[in-house]
Amino acid sequence: MIKDRGQWVEIEEMVLRPSQRTGNIPEETRKVPLMMRAKGFLAEKAKPGDRVKIKTLTGRVIEGTLTKMNPTYDHGFGEEFIPELLEIGIRLRAIMEENHDER
């Protein structure tokens, strides 16, 4: 399936081969390559498996192999609900508003 320029995608790129990894990591980790995954907007038409350039939300342009179309963020902070994390955004906004009002 070919995707158009501007499509939200995920790429993958090998950063280090196993032979390039440091000896200060567990043996099972040293045996596999260090991979980078990044999300961004496709620079030109492509299909999964193509080598592509993307522009990330921070404006960086990077290259890699196209792996996913419309990827989601599926990471978390563990299995348990952490109420403190829920409150952080609310408290931070309040602090920022206070600092802005003082100017």
Q: Tokens at residue 50, please?
A: 């193509």
| Dist. CA 52–CA 1, nearest whole Å | 15
pLDDT digits (tens, 9 = 90+) for 41-78: 999 999 999 999 999 988 999 999 999 998 887 776 66
Q: Record the pTM.
A: 0.67
Higher pLDDT, 103 or 33: 33
CB 11 within 8 A of CB 65: yes
Q: How confident is the model at residue 17 (pLDDT cuts 50, 70, 90)?
A: very high
Give percent of the chain above pLDDT 90: 59
Taking alpha carbons only, the member of 20, 102, 6 closest to residue 55 is 6
Which residue(s) pair with 51 in the sheet? 65
Mean pLDDT across the chain: 88
**Residue 39 vs residues 13, 36, 49, 71: alpha-carbon distances, Å:** 12, 10, 15, 8
